[in-house]
Structure 1
């Protein structure tokens, strides 16, 4: 009764606070509203569309709807590469032809899923803008051939090649059909989890094209309801393989672009496998990555002439091989290649291999991780790593034999890097918790040549009107695990006062939320209102070695929930925290976590917000779920024991206010997750709040990104 009385009094105070906010200027525009946060976020400058040019002395960028060329070494006004007058284009992306005499511009975006889209293409050539691929109904993923004379693109699940000299178009494949067969682009799950939409690659001489063919006819059909403000709603149907269900059968083909002849490459007898990347060796031999369904055996296979194949790299792991991407393998020359992997030492490092002789060198070593290969010149390799701290990224270079390692960036924070061809220059973007983005051109030794963008307007505003800055700390749980965390305290923090606390987290396998880089989001509006925001990366998160990351394998939501509950108890024990006013928030995997913590917290949390939460891993896709949780056929307990649906009865709705938020057009974490969660809560007789966003996807797009964040601000102010 006493706790309920305190809660009622707290609600009354917050109702008065909410009324004051409305009088001050309305929702979203008052101090502390998301509109101000979004404005400040937009002032954090970036340089878009950086492309290095062939000479290694110049680069191009996107500036508004212009493509401009600059020199690395000298500060000049730059040169527009568009004709005068400039064409009326909404530039989405662009590609320079290999000889850099032409530019292929994608204009506009008609989304398919979160990352894929169809578009219109315009060719800039000889000072003229010419629409191309005009006969295509829905072109996408277009690019130049190595000689620049042809453009290959996808249209309605088939591949085409367009000759720029003859203006003739040839159809490469003819069996593509929606929800049945896809040629040259990826299915839903490859797009989302392997991070690619283009599934073809030119041979170095441009005469042949390797491509993937997806037969998704056996993949179960997902129907997502669309409303779109129409009199009759309709179902949008697409193939989505949920954990344990059938995947697409994927084949590798090679087409001769001169003759049109096609040949299927034998990728082994197993059809229930993944081919996440394909390509060509520098001397013109096709290669492909092969990954078994469990994702604990990874091979790189090179196809020799006359049909022979060789496995030139193989990696096995007890739980899983970390997700492969474009930087897993980097060719150095015709024989040597670099591999980034963690299985040998338990930390992600670089190894030099030979196509003919196998392993040559371990290039990097230590209890830290290489996070990205930036490039190589055949003698050295440049990479980003966590050597100074798991929270930071710095640029290093080292000889391919592992000698003469050099640190090339000096800032204490987080760098991203775009190199020039030949590795003579770098464009670096740096930030840390207190410093917004600064983008600079640096020479090969890491010395600054000039600044391209420094977020000056934002820095001046922050100097005139200071905002709270993240403070990093570690804490040790009752089980002895030390976790990285940050805290954001209100300006004028007074340890003699008691503050409400919001825990914000994501917590997914291999992820990182606690990083020393500048950011701002809706939670910062709460800090201005006297709330403390805290975030911790629990067990299973990334960049602290394989052992720390993989201990959550097979039991998603077990250890991670323990760690967030430990964080809540740790914060409640601080003398300046109001232990009765602790909340938790998360989105996607973080939503799964926030919901799980609310149910298992036994009243620990006054409030929880779960946006687009997974509520049963049986509902999520094969690649993501099975790599971390095995298949449900072999680990049913790992799917059901930790599913929030199965412990809905544990919600203490007298002490924990729960808000579920979901978009009905979420093709990633389906609205089904929230529907089934509400069914379970209803059956258990529990009370909760819910916010539904019609026709919005997993990111609450196309038009609800701001509204959902303002809703979370308002909800927290009212209920925490």
Structure 2
């Protein structure tokens, strides 16, 4: 009942918006003051007993960090496990990881970012029982990981792999050939980190006597350099290996280090392809059997191999192929009998499958014209799989349970919107994070057997009260029929919207393969910016066109070999249709996007010059020839094989079509989409004698943030929108009669 009380409160506050709204959102509210910041649970970890969970708490006033343990049933704090202020030589920590037995904790401090996911940090092992602290290494290290028995920590340092014995303090260097920009052991290279989404490329086996790791030989990979301007008299350079589409990748190899024998042996499998990736490795429950996923360079074949570390025998267990590409699965699970749970799009939608340990299909667990979007785990005791899916509409997320044989499916989440679960170790409880376009994140404790809410943990009611003071209009969700498809769309209209007036339209999109921007969830920072623009008199809309995700493989993969073609056709046609609505001024339609979205907004302005009056492109890819091998070739193959696909759809080749107003923005420290993209676009625009505006942010990465940067960026974009679309806001419509005639 308490849960529904809070939902009623949210509904009451939402209904009060119409009478209470009067304050106008400012950019300072969004980017400086944290006015709309929500509370969350940081670094949530379910304890082994299944009855308690831990979270990281930061007390800014007293300058201390704690790991606090809470009881699931009562939600009361049981104890403070670690308190930085009570530990000598440790002022604070920013992350933590338990050993398997939870008697030790790895604490990270002095963290420094390398790329998107990778960091260097000082790490300490805190012994919970003895309350002692041990520094893992004098240097800042990467990805320290407890052995399953808790006696050792393996980590990466200077491209080599090390193991520290926690009892003796002895450190063993596993590899010695690591050299920057040449050889990396156990840590991924730039392109693996960015596109396969992981940094730690080593894994302990269950007996803690072997480590499997991937070795990257980057010697032949071309280097990319970025000037770092900093504050010194002379700039420095950041030089790193970056394989662009069609260029040489790192040569990867799989190895197993035997701690007892103090020797490393290479693993070989009988692949049918020579140029390949190893995007995942994981030991099975058998300490002698390692699993490794191999993928060909085209990424249309993914093979799961099981390797016996003793005999070196490698068995191909599951082989997936696709006419476009196969997504790497993060949902590989080995059950006690070493049978396999695996997710795949093989029937046209992402679903859960159960295989024997030899790779024979037992059954397809989930079925339907909808996607499984997260796999939470399998409970041996109840024979239930827990997962998240879009069964309740592609803009929503719900939590479900189902028997391993595909029977007895239950919807565990109750409210429509976005639900995400974090289960206790024994699957007795789950903490559900729920939000919708009108409800801020609501954290509840739920019974995993039926989904019933036991208690509310955090409700963010204060945020909704703050929001209720502002002139905010909820998003309108709908679909729009474009090029034979019903596309998901949201729209934000001014609070004083008058259907007899005409408004400028400002469109946002990302459009990248498998992405989604139209989702029933609580606001991110940009949503408040769109509300601010609506307060000024703009209509803001977002359409997820072909190529985006969660509507089946055919819808997502239609863009294969033609990135930017069908997505662009959908944005142009959607803009045309919206422009025909009597309350939208078809002469004042703009579009913007970031990264892939910047690629798209540039293309929209150039190729759709009779539809779009203006565009903003932030950190755009301007030619797919400039982007990395793994991402680009997944969808385009190589430039050598598909030159027309690369060139026909890259905006740098269509600058001569520019008619409207164009704002181009980039950070010079962008290691992902290099500023080279913008520099080459600028030169092309100049040589085509096209006027445009641009803004460069020194040393800022792909996110373009830090200090006052975001505020400056959004002021720049807002002023540009006002200047190019903002005239005649709210004028009386002259299209009403014409639309009526059309019926």
Query: 3-state DSSP class of the match of 1:275?
Result: strand
What RMSD, in angstroms, separates the aligned Cα atoms of the two structures?
1.5
From 28, 37, 46, give the equivalent of 2:30.
37
Scaled by the length of structure 1, what TM-score is found?
0.93
Check whether the contact 1:82–1:127 (CA below 8 A) recurs between aligned residues: no
Q: 1:200 to 1:718 in 2, by over 3 A?
A: same
From 489, 498, 503, give the equivalent of 2:493.
489
Distance in structure 2 (CA, Å) of the matches to 1:554 and 1:107: 44
Distance in structure 2 (CA, Å) of the matches to 1:442 and 1:548: 35
**Equivalent runs, 1:449-528 vs 2, <5 Å:** 449-477=454-482, 479-520=483-524, 521=526, 522-528=529-535
**1:694 counterpart = 2:688:** no
Distance in structure 1 (CA, Å) of the matches to 2:26 and 2:98: 42
Query: 3-state DSSP class of the match of 1:648?
Result: helix
Q: After TM superposition, give the deviation of residue 83 of structure 1 in Å.
A: 4.3
Q: Which residue number corresponds to residue 592 of structure 1?
A: 599
**Equivalent runs, 1:73-152 vs 2, <5 Å:** 73-83=73-83, 85-87=85-87, 88-125=90-127, 126=129, 128=131, 130-135=133-138, 137-152=139-154
Query: 3-state DSSP class of the match of 2:44?
Result: strand
**Equivalent runs, 1:47-86 vs 2, <5 Å:** 47-64=41-58, 65-83=65-83, 85-86=85-86
Q: Which residue number corresponds to residue 318 of structure 1?
A: 323
Q: 1:603 to 1:288 in 2, by over 3 A?
A: same
**1:388 counterpart = 2:364:** no
Query: 3-state DSSP class of the match of 1:590?
Result: helix
Q: After TM superposition, give the deviation of residue 114 of structure 1 in Å.
A: 1.7
Distance in structure 2 (CA, Å) of the matches to 1:335 and 1:597: 50
Query: 3-state DSSP class of the match of 2:106?
Result: strand
Check whether the contact 2:504–2:584 (CA below 8 A) recurs between aligned residues: yes
The farther-off stretch of 34-43 and 59-68 is: 34-43
Cα deviation code 1:502-544 (max 9, x no counterpart): 1000000110010010114122221221211100000010000
Q: Which residue number corresponds to residue 333 of structure 1?
A: 336
Q: After TM superposition, give the deviation of residue 374 of structure 1 in Å.
A: 0.8
Check whether the contact 1:37–1:525 (CA below 8 A) recurs between aligned residues: no
Check whether the contact 1:122–1:129 (CA below 8 A) recurs between aligned residues: no
Cα deviation code 1:598-649 (max 9, x no counterpart): 1111242222100000000000001100111111111111001111111110
Cα deviation code 1:1-42 (max 9, x no counterpart): xxxxxxxxxxxxxxxxxxxxxxxxxxxxx9443221244575
Q: Which residue number corresponds to residue 350 of structure 1?
A: 352
Q: 1:83 to 1:67 in 2, by over 3 A?
A: closer
Q: 1:648 to 1:45 in 2, by over 3 A?
A: same
Check whether the contact 1:251–1:267 (CA below 8 A) recurs between aligned residues: no
Q: 1:486 to 1:129 in 2, by over 3 A?
A: farther
**Equivalent runs, 1:197-276 vs 2, <5 Å:** 197-268=199-270, 270-276=273-279
Q: 1:108 to 1:702 in 2, by over 3 A?
A: farther
Q: How many residues align?
A: 683
Check whether the contact 1:283–1:334 (CA below 8 A) recurs between aligned residues: no
Query: 3-state DSSP class of the match of 2:549?
Result: coil
Gaps of 5+ in 2: 1-22, 59-64, 726-743
Q: After TM superposition, give the deviation of residue 76 of structure 1 in Å.
A: 1.1
Distance in structure 2 (CA, Å) of the matches to 1:218 and 1:318: 30
Q: Which residue number corresponds to residue 8 of structure 1?
A: none
From 609, 619, 625, give the equivalent of 1:612.
619
Gaps of 5+ in 1: 1-29
Distance in structure 1 (CA, Å) of the matches to 2:248 and 2:303: 22
Q: After TM superposition, give the deviation of residue 129 of structure 1 in Å.
A: 5.2
Query: 3-state DSSP class of the match of 2:311?
Result: helix
Q: After TM superposition, give the deviation of residue 493 of structure 1 in Å.
A: 1.4
**Equivalent runs, 1:652-667 vs 2, <5 Å:** 652=659, 656-667=660-671
**Equivalent runs, 1:432-451 vs 2, <5 Å:** 432-444=436-448, 445-451=450-456
Q: 1:639 to 1:595 in 2, by over 3 A?
A: same
Check whether the contact 2:293–2:304 (CA below 8 A) recurs between aligned residues: yes
Cα deviation code 1:324-370 (max 9, x no counterpart): 1422x122223211111112x10111110011361001101010010
Cα deviation code 1:105-152 (max 9, x no counterpart): 1113211112111001122213535251233x3311011110111111
Check whether the contact 2:85–2:92 (CA below 8 A) recurs between aligned residues: no
